[in-house]
Structure 1
């Protein structure tokens, strides 16, 4: 580790970095931490943060006191955050030479903090490592570009592109529609290249000014870090060009939602072989069991894929998102798609995670479901051929409340994810739900104000 820290020090000095953003991810996926002069960062080799930031809601509130003090020290003590030398990124839009360094969180005894999303993913990856396996993932991130709007009561609108006009209608895979925002994406690609992000293709998705960025396949923790950095980079590039980028799951009425599709496979570390294919090149039993685990446990872990009230708007009827955990080959109408590929590249695509999900938790949950399937031998259902949107046998909870109840009551998960994490995560999401319930919507004012 000391050698890697020396490499980190050398990188900062070689790039003449004057400020370091020391960050961790909270449960929502918000980067929280401190901005430190490089000299102070190098002297301290980390930072301290209150444990309570990991129980902060997206609105900045905290969970109820009785659960809060059950999970955390009443004195609101600090956790120790240490930099990961493999998770350092430049901040190209900063005025001063700045780096972002992702940290891991520990208690004073050196134990990983159970509420840390990055630690949750590392815990799941350790399960695979103990079997001699390594998961490989390839995320696809959908998002919308919109006009900047200061009033949250107003519906979002499509931005104006180079032509001086707003986009209208559905423009799936349109090159011209994507080129409307060429200057923005040129900056985004330049910044991501500087940061070393493994971006692949840019696609115009189905929605109005909805885009998708695909990442090249790679190691799960590294890609989760990259998604955290990319979302911030994309927002900064949009702001530079006077538009907004949003990763809300369903930001616009009448438009498709935004997903974080997760392609995943598993290799045997010793041989380098994809264990999803057997000797003859067909689907292995481990692959089928992996799919079976996804089918059984995604409904129990749905809040880690759909973490917000808004997330469930993606799953409404007549939307393009599958509302099931059916599986099928080359079938985008099911939640678990098996792309057509060679035996070496056999994988399953989990299409259920929203773009608003915390990347560490969504990847951890998806890999955990498959791991349980492989180790417990859970067979999948029969694959779906043809349209799967209306399939009702393997549907999902329809509300955040229902999903949280299932996650809380699934005792199997307590063996793999700590009870403390499950209790804390559910408490944070319930608090956010309660805050949402206090807000009177425009729909209520429009249809109830003078009618009831």
Structure 2
């Protein structure tokens, strides 16, 4: 911790936000004065934090106590000195530090999303493979509102007007929010976040930020930090930034596109490419693994009821696990690139997915395909919105049932994680079903 201690001193840090990611991707933790942090490197949090739902509720008692100690003990959090970020928006000089999580015996905590990604990366390391990923995050900017029953509205830009119509790739439409994005870029640079291009997406005030490719754990940490950074920048300008999968009716959903490739550790070469520059058998098996197991593990990419609104017919999201070269109508796109950069783009994950879990699962699906030498379906030529292979589950309930029946989930993720994750999502689904929607009031109130 000598390196971390020096960094805190050099940057004159007075407060430290000690954080971990819960299953929904929410930052949980404690804020400590720097002297207190330096005196005791370990932070302790109740085990229950990792079985908390997005609404703050918990799973049923039977499942709760089958996974956690009945005494509601703490788990141990230790700072990762490779995941330290200076917060540029705070009044006091503050650092946010992502912590590694352990049980009381010192073992990595199985319910931790970050540990799950480490588990998958260890599988690759055992075969001398090194995954490389590049996430693309879509999001909406909306006007502030204190009434969740009202539809979201686009914010007012520099021109004093709200955006109308579809403005895909419009520079002027993106420039409407220049002050916000200038802060975002400055703050990301301060924190060392590897963001690249900004584009205006198809929806009204919908944007996309691309991250430069790199190591999966580093990129997952950066996406985790970026979401909070963007929200803070938006709030400074009286705007809301949301990563909901489908926040606005009749507008496109927001995705987290994941580009992934695999390098050979010894040679540094892309295992997706043969010596003559052609696609390798491992490349095709990786695609086949994604095709086979994404439908079985879909809640890791679409974790909320709202996530499945992105997959409705006539939306711009590909509702399939087809693959094709330079084909955005496929759930699995192979971009046009040099042989050394050959990769697969998983376009099915929603922007609302936990970045650790989505990256871990996407890599795991491909890994299983590689070790089992699976064979993909033929690539799609032309429009691929109509799936030829097995379709995806249409609801969170059916997706959770399917995930529960998938033997590979417990085999690779562990029984505790599988049981805990599914239980948390089922509680959230039950909470959702208790809420009466505006659609029901509008069309059923006086009609049935």
The match for 1:437 is 433
Of residues 380, 388, 393 in structure 1, which corresponds to 2:389? 393
What is the root-mean-square deviation of aligned Cα atoms in Å? 0.5
Report the Cα distance in structure 2 between the residues aligned to 1:334 and 1:443, rounded to whole angstroms: 31
The match for 1:242 is 238
Q: Does 1:354 align with 2:342?
A: no
Shift in Å, 1:392: 4.2
State the SS of the aligned residue for 2:199: strand
Q: Does 1:6 align with 2:2?
A: yes
Shift in Å, 1:412: 2.3
CA contact (8 A) 1:326 1:394 kept: no
The match for 1:229 is 225
TM-score, normalisation: structure 1: 0.99
Of residues 16, 21, 26 in structure 2, which corresponds to 1:25? 21
The match for 1:171 is 167
Report the Cα distance in structure 1 between the residues aligned to 2:411 and 2:386, rounded to whole angstroms: 34
The match for 2:341 is 345
Q: Which structure 2 residues correspond to residues 319-330 of structure 1 after superposition, within 5 A?
A: 319-330=315-326
Of residues 359, 362, 368 in structure 2, which corresponds to 1:363? 359
Shift in Å, 1:394: 2.9
Report the Cα distance in structure 2 between the residues aligned to 1:69 and 1:253, rounded to whole angstroms: 40
The match for 2:202 is 206
Shift in Å, 1:42: 1.0
Q: Which structure 2 residues correspond to residues 94-243 of structure 1 after superposition, within 5 A?
A: 94-243=90-239
State the SS of the aligned residue for 1:160: coil
Task: Identify unmatched segments of 5+ residues in structure 1.
Answer: none
The match for 1:63 is 59
CA contact (8 A) 1:250 1:310 kept: yes
Report the Cα distance in structure 1 between the residues aligned to 2:104 and 2:447, rounded to whole angstroms: 59
Of residues 251, 274, 277 in structure 2, which corresponds to 1:278? 274
CA contact (8 A) 1:161 1:181 kept: yes
Report the Cα distance in structure 2 between the residues aligned to 1:215 and 1:394, rounded to whole angstroms: 31
Residues 409-438 of structure 1: CA distance to partner in whole angstroms, max 9, x if unpaired? 111222211011000000000000000000
Report the Cα distance in structure 2 between the residues aligned to 1:451 and 1:231, rounded to whole angstroms: 42
The match for 2:292 is 296
Q: Does 1:52 align with 2:48?
A: yes
CA contact (8 A) 2:321 2:387 kept: no
Shift in Å, 1:109: 1.1
Residues 265-313 of structure 1: CA distance to partner in whole angstroms, max 9, x if unpaired? 0000110000000011011000000000000000011000000000000
Report the Cα distance in structure 2 between the residues aligned to 1:414 and 1:429, rounded to whole angstroms: 16
Report the Cα distance in structure 1 between the residues aligned to 2:380 and 2:390, rounded to whole angstroms: 12
Task: Identify unmatched segments of 5+ residues in structure 2.
Answer: none
Residues 63-92 of structure 1: CA distance to partner in whole angstroms, max 9, x if unpaired? 000100101001100000011000000110
Of residues 411, 424, 431 in structure 2, which corresponds to 1:428? 424
CA contact (8 A) 1:79 1:105 kept: yes
CA contact (8 A) 1:46 1:103 kept: no
Residues 102-133 of structure 1: CA distance to partner in whole angstroms, max 9, x if unpaired? 00110121101100000000000000011111
Q: Does 1:448 align with 2:440?
A: no
State the SS of the aligned residue for 2:413: coil
The match for 1:335 is 331
CA contact (8 A) 1:290 1:373 kept: yes
CA contact (8 A) 1:249 1:354 kept: yes
The match for 1:384 is 380
Shift in Å, 1:43: 1.2
Report the Cα distance in structure 2 between the residues aligned to 1:415 and 1:448, rounded to whole angstroms: 46
TM-score, normalisation: structure 2: 1.00
